[in-house]
């Protein structure tokens, strides 16, 4: 039955290949990164030479689909390099933002290519070309043919920092005839939380341990953080960041801000807004939205030495979130004011930036709950209340100082997942199974 199901799935992925190519071409119009090295997505490698691994310098494959997973991979990679200094990395990504961020992690001997499209042929070419010692999938990425191909080639495939929210779990249950064999064929799974572990185990995943969230082990770049602090000191008003805002949220924020601005001014509550949209293709759109409402906008890309006075500062750059958190006294959590699951709030807290979040944080449920219980993340029921809460907070110096003082102790108390996961990866690699053809 499993072979028939996967054969049908494989046929569907083959038929979808022309659609994928057209989708990539469309995405490349707004994000040119999607036009880069397209043949790699189908297992054809021109510039990516195979890096043969040895016992002293194994090739460890890490797959991080997008930006958030790539940042988590960076934390794990730091620990892996400490434990195995001679290792080389094969990094795969699925999005242009993930690939751009991942390029910063490469050292001599490392390789970066696109994730292979999930046809048996592309997967087989990928595994035959690179022959990794182990595959580490970050957080959520499970592809049936990729899992089956690794088993066939004798490549242990693990899911690290694993999470599975309620919505995704229900979806996987509906497709259990396809999802369950894929989860079951993984070599090991290390979950973020007990709830994630329970849902993953329900789908047949071999959950070995609950190790916590790698992102608690993030170490903000000191120079970037200091630059943000210096720019914040030049502002005449306290700064509130709308961090990683998503489509629809900026318009709702703007309506709330315009409706409340006169009241704040009457009360003597001042604020400097800093907007950082989640997706770079929307930078121009968000700038135009603000300007159409009569607000002046200063864009990071046009202000290399720091933002000049303006109603809104727009963070239209990639890889500078630490700097933006350093510039801010508090942050609204993007993705939490629409039913999108929220964004990673741990990085904000590691930068001593308290968070105001909306009702939708299911992608980071435990971290959001712990931060709320610790009094460093404030929960509101919508963007209007979020704007009100954030402006009140940054204009209440004693209350803000109390929240900031708790941030470092909170993140430090939850660290340790990165070291534990790195140890587990190396242990799993030492138990590499034989390829199915030799078993």
Q: How far is 12 from 145, CA to CA, in rounded Å?
A: 12
Q: How far is 349 from 101, CA to CA, in rounded Å?
A: 21
Tokens encoding 6 = 């996967």
- Count CA atoms closer than 13 A to 279's CA, side-chain side: 16
| 321, 300 contact by CB (below 8 A) | no
Give the length of the chain: 439
Q: How many CB atoms lie within 10 A of CB 237?
A: 14
- Residue 186, burial from CB neighbour count under 10 angstroms (0-12, 13-18, 19+): buried
- Residue 233, burial from CB neighbour count under 10 angstroms (0-12, 13-18, 19+): exposed
Catalytic residue (choose from 31, 40, 69, 347): 69
| 363, 356 contact by CB (below 8 A) | no
| 365, 274 contact by CB (below 8 A) | no
338 among known catalytic residues: no
Q: How far is 115 from 145, CA to CA, in rounded Å?
A: 12
Q: How many CB atoms lie within 10 A of CB 375?
A: 12
Residues with catalytic function: 69
């Amino acid at each position: 039955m499993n072979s028939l199901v996967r054969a049908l799935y494989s046929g569907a992925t083959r038929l979808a290949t022309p659609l994928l190519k057209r989708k990539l071409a469309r995405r490349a119009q707004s994000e040119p990164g999607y036009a880069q090295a397209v043949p790699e997505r189908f297992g054809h490698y021109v510039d990516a030479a195979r890096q043969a691994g040895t016992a002293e310098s194994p090739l460890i494959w890490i797959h991080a689909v997008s930006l958030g997973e790539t940042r988590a991979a960076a934390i794990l990679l730091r620990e892996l390099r400490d434990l195995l200094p001679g290792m080389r990395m094969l990094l795969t990504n699925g999005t242009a933002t993930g690939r751009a961020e991942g390029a910063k992690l490469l050292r001599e001997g490392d390789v970066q290519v696109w994730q292979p499209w999930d046809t048996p042929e592309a997967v087989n070419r990928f595994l035959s070309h690179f022959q990794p010692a182990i595959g580490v999938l970050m957080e959520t990425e499970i592809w049936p043919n990729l899992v089956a191909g690794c088993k066939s080639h004798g490549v242990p495939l693990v899911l690290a920092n694993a999470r599975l929210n309620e919505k995704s779990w229900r979806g996987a249950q509906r497709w259990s005839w396809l999802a369950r064999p894929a989860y079951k064929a993984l070599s090991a799974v290390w979950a973020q939380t007990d709830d994630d572990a329970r849902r993953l185990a329900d789908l047949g995943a071999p959950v070995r341990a609950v190790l916590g969230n790698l992102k608690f082990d993030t170490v903000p770049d000191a120079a970037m953080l200091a630059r943000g602090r210096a720019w914040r000191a030049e502002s005449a008003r306290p700064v509130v960041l709308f961090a990683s805002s998503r489509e629809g949220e900026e318009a709702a924020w703007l309506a709330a801000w315009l409706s409340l601005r006169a009241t704040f001014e009457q009360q003597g509550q001042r604020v400097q807004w800093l907007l950082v949209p989640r997706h770079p293709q929307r930078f121009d759109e968000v700038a135009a939205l603000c300007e159409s409402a009569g607000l002046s906008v200063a864009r990071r890309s046009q202000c290399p030495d720091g933002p000049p006075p303006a109603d809104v500062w727009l963070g239209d750059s990639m890889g500078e979130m630490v700097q933006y958190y350093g510039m801010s006294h508090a942050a609204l959590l993007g993705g939490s004011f629409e039913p999108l699951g929220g964004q990673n709030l741990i990085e904000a807290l590691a930068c001593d930036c308290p968070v105001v979040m909306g009702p939708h944080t299911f992608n980071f449920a435990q971290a959001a709950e712990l931060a709320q219980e610790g009094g460093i993340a404030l929960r509101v029921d919508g963007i209007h209340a979020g704007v009100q809460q954030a402006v009140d907070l940054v204009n209440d110096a004693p209350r803000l100082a109390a929240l900031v003082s708790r941030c470092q102790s909170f993140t430090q108390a939850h660290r340790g997942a990165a070291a534990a996961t790195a140890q587990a990866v190396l242990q799993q690699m030492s138990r590499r199974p034989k390829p199915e053809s030799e078993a």
